[in-house]
Structure 1
Amino acid sequence: MLFQNSYLQHYYSGFEPSQAFDVVYGTSFEHRLLSAKRTSMKHQRLTLGDIRLETGWYNFPVIARGSMPKTAICIGFMAEGADATRINTTQIATEEIQIYPAGVELLYHAASLSRWVNFVVPEERLQKMAIERTGRSLTLLRAAAYSIRLPVGGRRALTRITDDALNLARRLQSTGGMTSDLAQEIYGSLLAGYVDALFDAVPSRKSGKPSIEVRHHHLINACERLVLAGTEADVALADIAKRSGYSMRSLQLIFRRSVGMTPGRWFMTARLNGALRDLLACDQTCTVSEVAMKWGFRHMSRFSHYYQKTFGELPSETLNRSRVN
């Protein structure tokens, strides 16, 4: 029986990362740009039977949010840029890997150059390999995403087996791709490598106790939903603080510590990127004012100013570009 496999590689630049939704198989991610200047993003995916191996590079500060696949467990880590990256507002340590139970939400926030790796696998397949190799199953938590710590050099070893598989798939693509036998061999090697890494890991200091970062992540999500709900133009930060139960000063400190920016800038980034995505997808009947109003901008001159300052062009120029394409 043929062992199905496929490989894809895609490059994004300019505004394109804002439309890169399919970066994790089986789900959808929203990318938010802090600027459109010199943005460059690369995405690779290797599919082997029922597992997916994916990696993405960003050369710019980025916010990405979505949820993990509902039918599989994900094992992720930062191959580069861990010191500049937060996952669900928690700073990532160099030798940590993250376990994402099926369907959990993910907020990826990178302040500079970064590269992530994600291994998507059905839990029963992972456990079967674990029992084959050690005679026992893995202990996996299911309530929320969490981190575990690898021995020194463990992340580098995982990066190496990841890159070996992706590089081989890329080289063979021009000659018709992998044979079924080779795909099965790589499938087994990847599963064994990731299972061994999980058994070698120990709990992170963050994972065994209630996390203040988790509470702050939920708070940021709740505040954002309040701001983006309906077409309220400018929800006052004082009102947001009052509804959240925090003082203005506490709210400011939580946002700065958790996502590296003020609440006002975080919400403005979300709204401007919503407008950007809509303008890029507009049909012939769509107008700039309609998009602006949808995202809470009632003063067109202010909207144009904020938009141009962030993305380097007027919203009308983005709209014209979408109509040409």
Structure 2
Amino acid sequence: MPIESVYMHHVYSGLEPLQAFDVVFGGSFEHRLMSSDLATMEHQRLVLGDVRLETGRYEFPVIAHGAMPKDGICVGFMAEGGHLTRCNTAAIGPDEAQIYPAGVELLYHARGHSRWVNLAVPEARIQKVAIARTGRPLPLHRRSLHSIHLRPGTRQTLTTLTNDALGLARRLQPDGGMAPALAEKVCESLLTGYVDALSLATPAGKSEKMTVEQRHYHLIAACERLVLSGEATDVALLDIARRSGYTLRSLELIFRRSVCMSPGRWFMTARLNGALRDLLTSGPDVSVSEIALKWGFRHMSRFSDYYRNAFGELPSATLARSSVRR
């Protein structure tokens, strides 16, 4: 059956990245802004039948939390800014790639300019290519995210392969996109390139360290769920530490080492971004105070100060623009 191709390119600016939930097709991600600087995010997607190639470029510090697609495995790597990026609290090495099983949860934390690349493909299809090229299937984990070391120069080879495929799709889009035969060739090139890279890769060799980082990721997620529950303002950091089984000092160290910020700042960022998202999507019958209270802010003047320092405008201005749009 001929392969149909679909290409999409979009640039999000200002506060728009908060509403970019589908940057990985089939998954769902929430973006959080950490700076009052205007944000710019570029996203490209090329769909070739049941294979999807995507890339996102962030020009600002960002947190993205969500789940990967459930219809296949994903292979991801940092084309740029890997030294500034963490995945599920684990630092990403310069020649590392990540294998994401179907539906796995992912916390992406970038402290500056970064660009990620992701290839999503049904496992049966990539294994068929692997067996045809190497005589054996790829050793893929089915339960948890894991990292592999690519051979030197391989990351740049995959980046070039990505850029060529997306660049070709972008140039042909005004003329109706790729012809089926060309789409088939591009898809074959992507799959063989990735299979060759993965078959020559080696395990990251840090299973014990990864276990600790995975435990810290689950700890941070659990603490965040507690803070964002209905008890939000009634739970002090000391109580959060006690419930987690750690001392306050240990909890502080885990957060600083894992996500490069204190627990208080992490939770404040989550609450402010929740309020921002509600202000951007609420109708004219909702007030700033209602949204502030929902996210655990009891003092309106303090909330306004926190909000303005984070996003560069008062919450009332965000709500007014949202109401005008609606």
Give me the TM-score of the superposition, normalised by structure 1: 0.98
* Structure 2 runs not aligned, ≥5 long: none
What residue is the counterpart of 1:177 in the other structure? 177
8 Å CA contact 1:14, 1:36 repeated in 2: no
Contact conserved, 1:146 with 1:207, CA < 8 A, in 2? no
What is the one-letter code of the residue matched to 1:173?
Answer: Q
Assess if the C-alpha contact under 8 Å between 1:31 and 1:63 holds in 2: yes
CA shift, 1:208, in A, is: 6.7
* 2:191 is the counterpart of 1:191: yes
> Offset of 1:299 from its aligned partner?
1.2
Q: How does 1:138-177 map to 2 (within 5 A)?
A: 138-177=138-177
* Superposed CA RMSD: 1.1
Change (3 A) 1:209 1:18: closer
Q: In the TM superposition, what is the alpha-carbon distance from 1:175 to its structure 2 partner? A: 1.4
Q: Does 1:321 align with 2:321?
A: yes
8 Å contact kept, 1:231–1:294: no
Which has the higher mean CA deviation after the structures are superposed, 230-239 or 90-99?
A: 230-239
User: How far apart in 1 are the matches of 2:4 and 2:281?
Assistant: 34
2: CA distance between counterparts of 1:198 and 1:51? 17
Q: How many residues align?
A: 325
* Residue equivalent to 2:263: 263
Whether the 8 Å CA contact 2:241–2:251 is kept in 1: the answer is: yes
Q: In 2, are the aligned partners of 1:15 and 1:36 still within 8 Å (CA)? A: no
Closer, same or farther: CA 51–72 of 1 in aligned 2, 3 Å: same
Cα distance in 1 for partners of 2:132, 2:208 equals: 28
Q: CA deviation at 1:210?
A: 5.5
For the residues of structure 2 that align with 1:4 and 1:36, how far apart are their CA atoms?
Answer: 41
Aligned position for 1:2: 2
**Deviations 1:68-116, CA, capped at 9 Å, x for gaps:** 1111100000000000000000000010000000011000000000000
Q: Percent identity?
A: 65
Closer, same or farther in 2 for the Cα pair 1:318/1:209, shift >3 Å? closer
Give the CA deviation at 1:197.
Answer: 0.7
1:216 aligns with 2:245: no
Residue-by-residue CA offset, 1:284-315 (whole Å, 9 max, x unaligned): 21111111111111111111110011001000
Aligned to 2:25, the other structure's residue is in SS state: coil
Cα shift at 1:215: 1.0
Shift of 1:211: 2.2
Q: The residue matched to 2:175 in structure 1 has which SS?
A: coil
1:1-325 aligned at under 5 Å gives the runs 1-207=1-207, 211-325=211-325
Letter paired with 1:293:
L
Equivalent residue of 2:233, what SS? coil
Structure 1's unaligned 5+ residue stretches are none
In structure 2, distance between residues paired with 1:241 and 1:231: 15
Residues 281 and 322, structure 1, Cα contact 8 Å, conserved in 2: yes
Contact 1:47 1:53 in 2 (8 A): yes
Opposite residue 191 of structure 2, the aligned amino acid is L
Aligned to 1:107, the other structure's residue is in SS state strand
Letter in 2 for 1:213: E
**SS across alignment from 1:174:** helix
TM-score (norm 2): 0.98
- More off after superposition, 282-291 vs 178-187: 282-291
Range that drifts further, 235-244 or 132-141: 132-141
